[in-house]
Amino acid sequence: MSSPSEPDMQNPTFEQKAFILLLVLVTIAFFWILLPFYGAVFWAMVLAVVFSPMQERLIRRMGGRGNLAALLTLIICLLVAILPVIFITSAVVAEGTALYQKLESGELDAGAYVTSGIRMLPPSIQEQLARVGISNLDGLREQISKGAMAGSQYLATKVFAIGQGTFEFFIGFFVMLYLLFFLLRDGKDLVHRIRTAIPLADTTKRRLQIKFTRVVRATVKGNVLVAAVQGALGGFIFWALGIYSPLLWGVLMAFLSLLPAAGAGIIWAPVAIYLMLSGSLMQGIILTAFGVLVIGLVDNILRPILVGKDTRMPDYLILISTLGGLALLGLNGFVIGPLVAALFVASWNLFGAKKKVRLPE
C-alpha cells in the first residue's frame, strides 16, 4: 500500500494517460525511423496481401511447413511481379534516353509531326483552331519540340540518378524482400495481434480489415494488371505498325490506363488520327480498330473477372483518389490513394450506420 506522501502515480486514470502518451510517442518514433524505407515497407505489405492466398494454399499442400511455403511464395512473387518491373523500367529509361538524343540532334522533330497534322485538317477546323489561338504553327512547333525535349530529358536524367542510387535501391530492395518473407510467414499472427490491440468493436475491426484487404487486392490485381495488359497490347500494335519507341508508348498507355476517365486512348487515338491524315490510311484504321476492339475491351472483360465487386467505388472517386495519390506520393500513390478513399468511405458508413446514411461505394 502506498503512503499518502507519495505522488498519485497509482491513479488508474493517470497511468492510462501516461501510457497512451508513451505509446503515441514510441509509435511516432518508430514510423520516423522507418520513413527512409517507407516505400519498401509499403510494397512488402501490399505484396504480402496480394500473395497471401497463394501462401495459404502452399502451406496446406506442404503439411503446414510455413517457412518453405513463404520462401516459395517469395520466389514466385520475385519472378512474376518484381523482376519484370525492374527489367521494363530499365528498358524504358534506355529507350527514353535514345529518344532524347534523337530529339536533341534534330533527327526526330515532334513539333513537325503535329504541325503537319494540323495542316492536313479541313480549312473549317483550321479556322476554329485559329480562333482559340492555335494559328502560329511555327510557334506551336517550337513549343511542342521543347515539351518533347523536356520529357525525354527527364527520362535521360534518370539513368544518372539510377546509377547514383544503386546502393540505396539494393538496400531498399533487400529490406522489401526480407520483410515480405516474414509478412507471408507470420501475417495471420500479426493481423490477429493488431486487431486485438485496436480499441474498436470486433465487427468494426473485421469490416475494416476486410475492406483494406479487398481494396489492396483489387487495386493491384485489377488496376495494375489491366493497365499492364493494355500497355502491352498498345506497345505491341505500335511495334507492329513500325511506330518509334513502342515500349515507351506502351508504358505511357499503361500508366494512363490507371485513370478510369482517360485510358490508353489518350496515346493511341491521336496517333491513329495522324496516320490517317498523313496518308497511312490503312495503318490508322488498323490502330483505331485494335484500340477500340482490343485495348478498349480489356478493361470491360478483365476487370470484372479480376476484381469483381471488391471496391464498389464510383469511377470519379477512383479517379480523384488515384490522381491525388500520384501527386502526393508518386508511384506509391496509385495504391495508397484508392486505399485511403475506400477506407474513408467504409469508416463513415460504419459511423453513420445507425442513421442509415451511406456514402457511395
Q: Write the pLDDT tens digit of every residue in 252-266.
A: 888 777 766 567 788
Answer yes or no: is 85 within a domain: yes
What domain range is 304 assigned to?
202-361
What is d(CA 220, CA 208) in angstroms, rounded to the nearest whole number? Answer: 18
Of 183, 215, 238, the residue at which a domain comes to its end is: 183
In a domain, 228, yes or no: yes
Pairs from 303-306 (Cβ < 8 Å, separation ≥ 24)? 303/222, 303/226, 306/218, 306/221, 306/222, 306/225, 306/226
165 shares a domain with 82: yes
pLDDT at 6 (0 to 100): 44
Where does a domain end: 125, 154, 183?
183
Residues 245/247/293/273 CA torsion (nearest 10 deg): -20
Specify whether 206 is located in the same domain as 295.
yes
Residue that the C-alpha cell 526526330 belongs to: 108
In this structure, the answer to whether residues 275 and 179 fall within a common structural domain is no
What confidence tens digit (pLDDT) does each residue in 55-98 have? 888 888 888 788 888 889 899 988 887 888 777 877 777 776 77
Cut 0.85: pTM above it = no
Q: Are residues 232 and 311 in the same domain?
A: yes
Is residue 101, in this structure, part of any structural domain at all?
yes
Chain segment 313-333, per-residue pLDDT in tens: 676 777 788 788 878 887 778
Calculate the average pLDDT of the chain.
Answer: 74
Dihedral (CA of 188, 191, 197, 200) sign? negative
* Residue 25 lies inside a defined structural domain of this protein: no
**CA 28 to CA 189: how far, in whole Å?**
23
In a domain, 9, yes or no: no
140 and 226 both lie in a single domain: no
Whether 189 is covered by a domain: the verdict is: no
Same domain, 159 and 267: no
Please tell me whether residues 81 and 208 are part of one structural domain: no
Residues 105 and 67 in one domain: yes
Residue 312 counted as domain residue = yes
174 with 229, same domain: the answer is no
Q: Which residue has the higher pLDDT, 136 or 247?
A: 247
Residue 358 has pLDDT above 80, yes or no: no
Instruction: Indicate whether 185 pLDDT > 50.
Output: yes
Within 10 angstroms of residue 123's Cβ, the number of other Cβ atoms is: 7
Residue 10 belongs to some domain of the structure = no
State the total domains in the chain: 2
Instruction: Please write the tens of the pLDDT for every residue from 2-38.
Output: 444 444 444 557 777 787 888 888 888 888 888 888 8
The mean pLDDT of 154-163, rounded to a whole number, is 54
| 175 and 261 share one domain | no
Domain boundary among 183, 212, 239: 183
48 and 179 inside one domain: yes
**Residue 209 and residue 161 share a domain:** no
The 8 Å CB, 24+ separation contacts for 313-319 are 313/338, 313/341, 313/342, 313/345, 313/360, 313/361, 314/360, 315/260, 315/261, 316/261, 317/341, 317/345, 317/360, 318/260, 319/259, 319/260, 319/261
